[in-house]
Homo-oligomer: A and B are copies of this chain.
Amino acid sequence: MTIALDAMGGDKAPDAVVAGANIARKRHPEVRFVFFGDAKLIEPRLRRFKSLAKVARVVNAPEVVAADARPSQVVRTGRDTSMWKAVEAVRDGAADGVVSAGNTGALMAAAMFTLRTLPDIDRPAIAGFMPSLRGETVLLDLGANVKCDARNLVQFAVMGEVYCRTLLGAQEPKVALLNVGTEETKGNEILKEAAEILAAADLPVTFCGFVEGDDITAGTVDVIVTDGFTGNVALKTVEGAAKLIGQYIRQSFRSSLMAGIGYLFARRAFAKMRRRTDPRRYNGAMLLGLNGICVKSHGGTDALGFATAIGVAVDMVRNDANELIAEHLGKVDLGPTRGSEPAIKVASS
């Protein structure tokens, strides 16, 4: 298996990408890597990791997609960038999957343009997972589609179900639509229509109806489907709440001598909790619905986080996730697809 890496994407590129690949190499010894980026920057870094260098090659593509570049701009003028070249490697069969920590919108545009969408898919979606009281919850769309219709949501449900099976090993993942109440009468017409289609008995999805915002972290179901606007807000709201409470915990331990002594006793337990909730453990959002495995790493992550994102790509390739998605989508008759123009509006992440 070969994974293409955009060595120039993300705040800490190329260091985090090269060092991240080295961590991933130890976890997945069967994987080979192709780095796309400025060879002058990548090669000296690669020399530090001799075992990695043996399973890696470098393709010189020094142009970088700017963090604030618009997707349309990248489609027009970004064909020589490290990101575009890395995605092309998947299309050309030179790699089985690609990982980039660069601009989300640009990556989605490059992937849609280069890899194209799967048959029966109107629009791809971005899926991620986060910790819950019962384990982990998959949430999608995280921002690829600001507006979605019922067809989109149904397709997201089918894809999210496969993503959850593949990545988290869930047997029959429970899938629900995010809403403002659990009763059938709640929400808008799009949600009601999507719920009706998903409730049809012959779909390859265990559909559980509507859930609410607090169900994301409660782990009521395994997969929560929503449009890219709400999903992006929900994801960032969880991140923000975690940051606030983390600050409260630090302030509490620092608020008195007694609390400081308490910290000395409890710090190992809290370090364990920090490791468990470490965002780097939940890094690697999957661009679902494309003719190829494409994973978006958080732009600010380090080597450890990037290694997790590589792991997501490896899991998806190894388990033939896209074949399973195509097979499951084939069972859903929603009529002809509505084309696959590149996603121009992608939320930042």
**CB-based contact A240/B252 at 8 Å:** no
Contact partner, A348, options B146, B186, B266, Cβ 8 Å: B186
- A339 close to B (CB within 8 Å): no
Residues in B neighbouring A188, C-beta threshold 8 A? 146-147, 229
Q: How far is the CA of A261 from the CA of B266 in the complex (A)?
A: 8
Q: How far is the CA of A322 from the CA of B150 in the complex (A)?
A: 40
Considering residues A237, A265, A345, which has the most beta carbons from chain B within 10 angstroms of its beta carbon?
Answer: A237
- A233 close to B (CB within 8 Å): yes
Quick one: which of A250-272 are within 8 Å of B by CB? 251-253, 255-256, 258-259, 261-270, 272
**CB-based contact B217/A244 at 8 Å:** yes
Say whether, besides A256-B268, A258-B266, A143 and B241 are in contact (CB < 8 Å): no
Say whether, besides A233-B233, A237-B237, A252-B273, A143 and B180 are in contact (CB < 8 Å): yes
- A228 close to B (CB within 8 Å): yes
- A308 close to B (CB within 8 Å): no
Oligomer copy total: 2
**CB-based contact A229/B269 at 8 Å:** no
Contact partner, A185, options B70, B183, B273, Cβ 8 Å: B70
**CB-based contact A276/B248 at 8 Å:** yes
**CB-based contact B234/A252 at 8 Å:** no
Quick one: which of A211-238 are within 8 Å of B by CB? 212-218, 226, 228-230, 232-238
- A178 close to B (CB within 8 Å): yes
- A77 close to B (CB within 8 Å): no
Residues in B neighbouring A258, C-beta threshold 8 A? 265-266, 268-269
Residues in B neighbouring A60, C-beta threshold 8 A? none
Q: How far is the CA of A348 from the CA of B213 in the complex (A)?
A: 11
Residues in B neighbouring A238, C-beta threshold 8 A? 213, 237, 240-241
Instruction: Tell me how far the C-beta of A171 lies from the nearest C-beta in chain B, rounded to whole angstroms.
Output: 23
Quick one: which of A315-349 are within 8 Å of B by CB? 345, 347-348
Instruction: Tell me how far the C-beta of A69 lies from the nearest C-beta in chain B, rounded to whole angstroms.
Output: 12
Say whether, besides A214-B239, A233-B212, A255-B272, A146 and B180 are in contact (CB < 8 Å): yes
B-contact 0/1 string along A20-59, CB 8 Å cutoff:
0000000000000000000000000000000000000000
B-contact 0/1 string along A265-294, CB 8 Å cutoff:
111111011001100000000000000000
Contact partner, A245, options B183, B186, B245, Cβ 8 Å: B245
**CB-based contact A233/B186 at 8 Å:** no
13 cross-chain CB contacts under 8 A: A68-B183, A143-B180, A180-B233, A213-B237, A217-B237, A230-B230, A234-B237, A237-B238, A245-B277, A256-B269, A258-B265, A258-B268, A266-B266
> What 6 A-B pairs are tightest by C-beta distance, nearest first?
A262-B266, A213-B236, A262-B265, A214-B240, A180-B347, A259-B269
Residue numbers of A with Cβ under 8 A of B are 68, 70, 131-133, 143, 146-147, 178, 180-183, 185-188, 212-218, 226, 228-230, 232-249, 251-253, 255-256, 258-259, 261-270, 272-273, 276-277, 345, 347-348
